Amino acid sequence: MKYSVIIPAYQCADTISQTVESVLNSGLSDFEIILVNDGSTDSTPAVCNLLEENHNEVVCIHKENGGVSSARNLGIEKATGEYLLFIDSDDTYDKNSLKKACEICDKENPELLIFGLSFDYYKNGNIYRSDKLVYPEKKPLSASQWANDFENMFQYNALSSACNKIFRSEIIKENSILFNKDIFLMEDFLFVLHYLKNIDKIHFLPEAIYRYHQPDDESRAFTRADRIADINEYLHPFTSGIEALAVYLKDNFKIDFTEGEKVLFSLYSMLISQRAYCADEMVLKELANTVKNGRFANYDTEDLLINDLKNGNYKAIIKRHKKIQLRHKIAVAVKKNSLYQKLRGN
């Protein structure tokens, strides 16, 4: 078996068939699709079973609910493919979009292949907005090259998702690389960090192959951050992952991994930003204490939010965020308008 595509499935009866169909038509050959039903209580189990009955490529596994990382880990355990891909149960690939990726795998046998992401917003089944993030590199990068462009790769989302990559199965299994079940934000990035300390070259396909289905309600993207009791403590596994990668790069390639600390701060800043976005003054004061007592308390930055938190400018933060939220609501309303859709040809 050449490829194993792992799909964690939870409460996704309305979307999982479309996701599976997109994989079947993506241009992969010699592949299996592993559906891991993660204790769904809707009709997802029945839909998964039907997909298995109708398609020889589909294998369906049922388990008790344990979260997306638990489901992916079980998929890794059961996978028989030489390469592993991950796709979420409401996302898709375009038709034949993986053909070039397969050609690279056949020719180069890469340790890791990264392609671009398209963040798609829908109304009535039509995309009214699409934001593409594609790391522009075309040639393979050695460890010294990607380590020195690590921050830029992070900003392009080339590192933080497991879904825009093709992994070598033997590297994952021989090194017992799994998703951390205690992490619910940026768990993909932590997985990628552990994977990177076992490879040299990264290959790239600068095309937005993976279509990420964005929710219309942007607040949903920030609610998970509310579950983090202590952001400083939450950062510890990522700090350990960056430090372990730095040791690997130093020992094997004599690279001083200065980019790692920059990316760690970018992650920290992102978590702070998500927690602060809908926060009131009381929560902002708690965040200010988090910043003042954390790893980056004395970090020299131009990050406006971090500096405002340090200086107690809570009202300015709230005012700024309310303006951003209002602009977003107006933009969504305009782009959902039927006239706007008509002008776009949707």
Mean pLDDT of 19-24: 98
% residues pLDDT > 90 (the chain): 84
Mean pLDDT of 268-287: 94
State which fold the 3-216 domain adopts.
Spore Coat Polysaccharide Biosynthesis Protein SpsA; Chain A (3.90.550)
Tens digits of residue pLDDT in 106-159: 999 999 999 999 999 876 667 778 899 999 999 999 999 999 999 999 999 999
Q: Is the pLDDT confidence value at 21 over 60? A: yes
Give the domain ranges of the chain. Answer: 3-216, 225-336
Buried b vs exposed e over 168-201: b needs ≥16 C-beta within 10 Å?
Answer: bbeebeeeebbbbeebebbbbbbbbbbbbbebee
Mean pLDDT of 34-51: 98
Position 328 confidence tier, pLDDT thresholds 50, 70, 90: confident
> 335: closest CA among 134, 129, 163?
129
Secondary structure class of 106 (helix, strand, coil): helix
Tens digits of residue pLDDT in 61-110: 999 999 999 999 999 999 999 999 999 999 999 999 999 999 999 999 99
Which residues fall within 8 angstroms of residue 90, CB to CB, at 6 or more apart? 12, 15, 16, 19, 213
Q: Taking the complete model, does pTM exceed 0.85, yes or no?
A: yes
Quick check: 19 and 90 in contact, CB under 8 A?
yes
**pLDDT value at position 303?**
95
Position 238 confidence tier, pLDDT thresholds 50, 70, 90: very high
Average pLDDT, the chain: 92
**pLDDT value at position 200?**
97
**pLDDT value at position 332?**
65
Q: Is the pLDDT confidence value at 192 over 90? A: yes
**pLDDT value at position 196?**
98
Position 325 confidence tier, pLDDT thresholds 50, 70, 90: confident
